[in-house]
Amino acid sequence: MSTATTPRTSQRSFADRVKGYSPPSSVMPVLATFALLVGMFGVGSIRYEGFASPQVVLNLFVDNAFLIVLAVGMTFVILTGGIDLSVGSVVALSTMIAAATLRAGWPPLLAVLAVLLTGTLLGLAMGLVIHYFEVQPFIATLAGMFLARGLCYLISVESIPIKDDTFQSLSAASITLPGELYVTPTVLIALLVVIVAAWVLHLTRFGRTVYAVGGSETSAMLMGLAVARVQVGVYAISGFCSALGGLLFSLYMLSGYSLHAVGMELDAIAAVVIGGTLLTGGYGLVVGSLLGVLVLGTIQTFISFDGTLSSWWTKISIGALLLVFVVLQRFFTRRGAS
């Protein structure tokens, strides 16, 4: 056996363990994303005045809090080897439900609960269909996407403004940090979601089973793991995150509209991929997805700082970045396989 030369496990010294330690290969792409982010900021600060200010960094979080939450949910799904196309539509539906219920005079808390419940149930339903009827995630969540968009139009074809005091004040609220910096409460919510997600993924049986299912669903099943609970659960989580993201988005836009968040699922998927998660499942970190969102945000900051670049360069550069990361991942896994 090729391992014959390594010392016996039980007698391993601490030094051996430290020497033998190398970061798990799934961390490498995350480091790459981080390096990219730092690099982009470096370039930005050289080219544009005021680019490297701390508030610009904080604004990345402020402007993309909803996307961070979406990307976290998407990470769960993609880790199991699935995909969730419904997130953009669920965001729109969430803004609609929030706006419509508030207009109808519901207390804000009840409206929030209604939104979160709807999103979670929708995700749960998709998960059930995917797991129990063995329908491909792509197509099942496509149905969810159509369903959520259709429900939006059922509520109203027009945009509904949100005039509720709680929402208005939350939307305007900011938390001042030392050095005349500020963030919004939505940022704290988004970061809390990231932390909870990381905790669940790494320290709970559910989380490890997510990775196991992504590694090999058959194996996970034969190992007697709760595959059903995980496979249904990740879509419910993604549905919940979409709804929560939708709430943050409605705070950002202060309206509900059927055409909100068109194509946002692509941004979420792009963020997850740029964050180093393999679309085949089993490898990836939720922190990576956070960094992925920040990279997307930085591109937009770049374009708004530049002023001469047209808006379509956002799409083109996201596409280009996606390409770079996908190709890098490809070579990375190919080398790992041989």
Partner 1 sequence: MRDLPRHRLFWPVLALTLLLVVNVVATPSFVQVRMQDGHLYGSLVDILRNGAPVLLVALGMTLVIATRGIDLSVGAIAAIAGAVACVHIAGSGDPGSAGTAITAIALALAVCVLLGLWNGFLVSVLGIQPIIATLVLMTAGRGLAMLVTGGQITTVNNSFFKAVGTGYVFTLPVAILLSLGVLAVTALVTRRTALGMLVEAVGINPEASRLAGVRSRTILWTVYVFSAFCAGLAGLMIAANTSAADANNAGLWIELDAILAVVIGGTSLAGGRFSLTGTLVGALFIATLATTVPTIGIPSETNYLFKAVVVIAVCLLQSPKARAAVWRRGRRRPSTVKAGRA
Partner 2 sequence: MTHMSADAQPSPGPSVEGARHGEPVVEMTGITLTFPGVTALDDVSFRMYPGEVHALMGENGAGKSTLIKALTGVYTIDAGTIRIDGEERQLTGTAAAQDAGVSTVYQEVNLCTNLTVAENMLLGREPRRLGRIDHRRMYRRAGDVLARLGLDISPRSRLGDHPIAVQQLVAIGRAVDIDARVLVLDEPTASLDSEEVATLFEVIDSLRSQGVAILFVSHFLDQVFAISDRMTVLRNGRLVGEHLARDVTRLEVVEEMLGRELEVLERLDREPSRQPDDRRTPVLRASGIGRRGSLAPVDLEVYDGEVIGIAGLLGSGRTELARLLFGADPADSGTVEVRGHRVHLRSPRKAVDHKIGFSSENRRAEGVVGDLTVAENMLLSLQAARGWLRPVPARTREQLVAKYVEALDIRPADPQALMRNLSGGNQQKVLLSRWLIMQPDLLLLDEPTRGIDVGAKAQIQQVVDDLARAGMGVVFISAELEEVLRLSDRLVVMRDRHKVDELANTQTTTSDLMAIIARDEEAARA
Residues that bind partner 2 (CB under 8 A): 1-4, 6-10, 12, 17, 20, 24-25, 199, 203-205, 208-209, 211-212, 214-216, 218-226, 282-283, 338
168 binds, among partner 1, partner 2, none (CB under 5 to 8 A by kind): none
Give 48 or 313: the residue with its C-beta nearer to partner 1.
313
251 binds, among partner 1, partner 2, none (CB under 5 to 8 A by kind): none
**26: phi then psi, degrees, rounded to nearest 5:** -70, -15
Chosen residue from 175, 188, 309, 323 binding partner 1 by CB under 8 A? 323
**Residue 282 per-residue DSSP state:** S
Chain centroid to CA 272: 6
Q: 254-293: which residues touch partner 1 (CB under 8 A)?
A: 258, 266, 269-270, 273, 279-280
State the minimum distance, in angstroms, from the CB of residue 211 to partner 2: 6
Give the CA radius of gyration of the chain. 21
Q: How far apart are CA 171 and CA 290, in angstroms?
A: 22
Q: Is 230 left (phi over 0), alpha (psi -120 to 50) or beta?
A: alpha
Site size for partner 1, by CB under 8 A?
45
Site membership for partner 1, residue 124 (CB under 8 A): no
Give 149 or 260: the residue with its C-beta nearer to partner 1.
149
Site membership for partner 1, residue 133 (CB under 8 A): yes
218 binds, among partner 2, partner 1, none (CB under 5 to 8 A by kind): partner 2
Q: Where are the beta strands (DSSP E) in 139-236?
A: 160-161, 175-177, 181-183
Q: Where are the beta strands (DSSP E) in 122-218?
A: 160-161, 175-177, 181-183
Q: Taking Cα atoms as reference points, which of 259, 258, 206 lies closest to residue 232? A: 206
Site membership for partner 1, residue 153 (CB under 8 A): yes
Contact 313, 75 (CB under 8 A): no
6 binds, among partner 2, partner 1, none (CB under 5 to 8 A by kind): partner 2
Give 20 or 42: the residue with its C-beta nearer to partner 2.
20
Q: How far apart are CA 102 and CA 132, in angstroms?
A: 36
